[in-house]
Structure 1
Amino acid sequence: MGAKTKLDLSDKDILKRIKGWARDGLTDKDIAANLGYSATYFCALKGKNKDVAEAIKSGRAPVDIIVENMIFKKAVGMSIKTQQAVKLRDVIYNSEGNKSVIERVEIVTLTQEIPPDTTAGIFWLKNRKPDQWNKPTPKPIDADDIPKDIPKGVKIDSWIKKQIEE
């Protein structure tokens, strides 16, 4: 098996393909495989080649915006329009009083209210305002921090204050 031919990554067609793959949700590893490169080599190449980095960035940007907008809409609630087939009956009486029924199907547009989703709201806030909404992880207390071999004992209040200050 011979050496693999390197692609011309300044070629507009190849850059369009990379942009399309990024827009379709492929990971860098997937894009590298499609181009015949290892993920490590492609990652280094992406750092060196601004055209490739820009193709990936511009391919993912519109999709990111769409997803961001949908998360926001789901967080605050929204109205959506749906179509539904409805069966209708027309009852007609002729001059002799005979009844005839004609059935037909019509497509009607309905407005459906989607209530706000708390999970989407939390996700939105934790990502948009992490300083306010991400809880800091508490410092674990190591067994080494707990005093041992104390002849007279220790005042628990002073030990707790010391732990909080650290």
Structure 2
Amino acid sequence: MAKGKYQKWLENENLVLLEGWKRNGLTDKQIAENMGISVNTLDKWKRRFVQIRQALKIGHESANYAVERKLFQKAMNGNTTAMIFWLKNNWRDKYNDSELSPEERKLAVARMKKLEVETKNVQLRNKSLEENGADVEEALDRLLTRLDKEESKDEHERPADS
């Protein structure tokens, strides 16, 4: 029986090779070329094989940590540009002097809505438990009904483009 091409890339020595290529900054297209496959095949293998996905992820994260360490060292040695970059990216609420992009604004709004729903959930749960004492199952049913009503009300109030 013929061995699938992917199987050789699941062997430890080849997973280390994939990790190293990613750590060295190669793109998925370059890695696929090194493997003798198309980038589409590599994408399929990443979805199908956790070992390949993890090797590439670890390599990518290793590169990020190395760059982060170098940036931090430069900032600590008084490189003003590195210091500004570090502070703007790691202490955004204090040092970010730019407006939020539309995508960031949407994310912030979504986070706030999620927090509001979670808060309502806790408040309704507490209120239901106070009202119903030991009859927790009935209280939870009422709570879920209220949450469903709130959620459908929120969906109807949202603009069509969001």
Higher strand share: 1
Tell me how far apart the structure 1 counterparts of residues 70 and 85 of structure 2 sit (CA, whole Å): 12
Are the equivalent residues in 1 in contact too, given 2:6–2:45 (CA < 8 A)?
no
The answer to whether 1:136 aligns with 2:135 is no
Which amino acid letter does the alignment assign opposite residue 43 of structure 1? D
Q: Does 1:127 align with 2:89?
A: yes
Q: 1:125 to 1:40 in 2, by over 3 A?
A: farther
Distance 1:76 1:59, change over 3 A: same
2:26 is matched with 26
Aligned partners of 2:27, 2:16: CA distance in 1, in Å? 16
In terms of fraction of residues, the more helix-rich structure is 2
* Partner amino acid, structure 1, of 2:90: R
C-alpha distance in 2 between matches for 1:39 and 1:56: 13
Q: 1:39 to 1:126 in 2, by over 3 A?
A: farther
TM-score, length-scaled by structure 1: 0.50
The aligned runs of 1:44-59 (5 Å cut-off) are: 44-59=44-59
Q: Could you tell me the percent identity over the aligned residues?
A: 36
2:86 & 2:33 partners in 1: Cα distance? 33
Query: Is the partner of 1:10 in helix, strand or coil?
Result: coil
**What aligned pairs does 1:1-166 form with structure 2 within 5 A after superposition?**
6-8=5-7, 9-77=9-77, 116-134=78-96, 135-136=98-99
Report the number of matched residues.
97
Partners in 1 of 2:93 and 2:42 — Cα distance? 34
Considering only aligned residues, what root-mean-square deviation do their CA atoms show, in Å?
2.4
Equivalence for 2:105: none
- After superposition, the Cα gap between the structure-2 partners of 1:124 and 1:36, relative to the gap in structure 1 and judged at 3 Å, is same
Give unmatched runs, 5+ long, in structure 1. Answer: 78-115, 140-166
Instruction: Give the aligned residue type for 1:40.
Output: N
Cα distance in 1 for partners of 2:24, 2:71 equals 19
Hey, what's the Cα distance between the residues in 1 that align with 2:70 and 2:22?
19
How high is the TM-score relative to the length of structure 2? 0.51
1:103-123 Cα deviation digits (max 9, x unpaired): xxxxxxxxxxxxx12211122
Residue of structure 2 equivalent to 1:112: none
